[in-house]
Each structure stands twice: as structure tokens, then as C-alpha cells.
Amino acid sequence: MSFKTSCKVPETILNRLFPVQCLICRRIAVFSTFMCRDCFHELEIYLDTPFSFKPEETPYIREVLSAYWFTPGLQVLVHHLKYKQADFIGRWLGERMGILTLNSEFARTGCLIPVPLHRKRKRVRGYNQSEQLALGISKIWKVPIVPDLIYRQVHTTTQTQMNREERQKNVSGIFAVKRKKVIPNSCVIIDDIFTTGATTCELARTLHIAGVDEIRIFTLGTPLTREGGNFLLNSDEN
């Protein structure tokens, strides 16, 4: 990934030879193909349960974990992942998520289940961003992805103007398990941001009814910044 790890050429020379622009600060960078070293170090590790998770409402979910605070830098990366065709950012962030949790119970799960997109939305985007994250995590944890166990049977419109209750109502029954599929004993659901958690918890509920016993959720980000900023109501859950 980084030229610096494979040879000892100074960064200043590499900058001139292979100039790439950091997606976050727009300066020339060589740390990776899309982000400079400073912006990488400014991503803030959260690695805790998101505040919006309500365990008393979802006893079938063992644990929920989010890897990063929703810093402006992470927001830029998520925006490129979801709306600028930058699927590689998902795999790269997925690897970071995998490394952060390699020694946790999460990494000992039976399989990874990325939150499915409706086929219409997947066709427009060209890929599922949660699946890209799962690919990176799978590489580190050595756990298989099961992308075709469950599908989204209802195409939900944007939920940005809805409150928590409205979102819960809006996502009720949107997922269905495919017939003749082997139901795993345990899984970790992978998603980008745990906004209100309405979509992810509905997926967990559907998997629980289908017979999955041990369900955990792992998301790239929590919708909060360390300073208390909240992106809950202006971010979408698709």
C-alpha cells in the first residue's frame, strides 16, 4: 500500500514522482493512495457501543461495536465510499476495523453478513459499501462473508427526515432470508454508520427469527463526534 514500507526513498522525492492528493485535506500525500499520514492519525478510534443502541429493545443482539468517532475526516471517507464510487476505501477501512478487533469475540464469529442493499440501489452504486468493509475485515479475521443469505425485499426511500420511531416503522419487514440457505450459528453484521440502528437491528431481528443464535453488529462509525456533534438526523441508513 505505502511505498515507504517497501523501500527507503524519502517521502519528499516520492511526492514529486507519484503525486496523489489526500481526499480529506487536499494536500499531496504518499501515505496511501487516497489519504495523507496526518489525516490518517486524525481518525479517532472509538471502539465502543454506539450511544444510540438500545439493548433493552433488542435482547437478541449480543453486542454492538463501532470502530471510529464520526470526525469530519471520516465523514469525507464515508461520502466517497457511498457516493463517489470509491469502493477501495471500504476495503481499506475494513482492514483497519479488522486489525482493531482481531483479539475480540467479534473476530471468532462464524461469518460476516454485510447489510444488504436493495437491488435497485446496488445497481445505481455498483457495489454494496458494507460488503466492501466486510471484505477488508474478512481478510484480517479470516472469517467468511455470507452475502447471499438474506436480501432486502423493500426499497426504502431516504430516511434523513425521520425520527427514531419513524425509521423503525419504515424498516419493519424489509429483509427476508433466502430459501434453502444454511443458517449459521453465529454472525457479525457489518454496516457503515450505526445511525439510529433501525436498519441494522431489523436485519438482526430477521436473522434471529431465522435461527441465528449469536448475533453481533460491527460498524465503521458511531454517528457522534467526540465533542458531542450528532449526525443522527442528517445521515441516511442505506
- The residues binding Zn ion (CB under 5 A) are 22, 24-25, 36, 39
Between 39 and 143, whose beta carbon lies closer to Zn ion?
A: 39
* Shortest CB 40 distance to Zn ion, Å: 8
Between 32 and 156, whose beta carbon lies closer to Zn ion?
A: 32
Closest C-alpha to 218, from 56, 73, 50, 52 = 50
* Shortest CB 39 distance to Zn ion, Å: 3
Q: How far apart are CA 60 and CA 215, in angstroms?
A: 7
* Shortest CB 36 distance to Zn ion, Å: 3
* Shortest CB 90 distance to Zn ion, Å: 19
Residues 60, 205: contact at Cβ < 8 Å? yes
Dihedral, CA atoms, 102, 96, 191, 22, nearest 10 degrees? 180
Between 4 and 122, whose beta carbon lies closer to Zn ion?
A: 4
Between 28 and 233, whose beta carbon lies closer to Zn ion?
A: 28
C-alpha cell, 152: 432486502
φ, ψ dihedrals at 36, nearest 5°: -85, 165
CA angle, 55 then 56 then 59, to 5°? 70
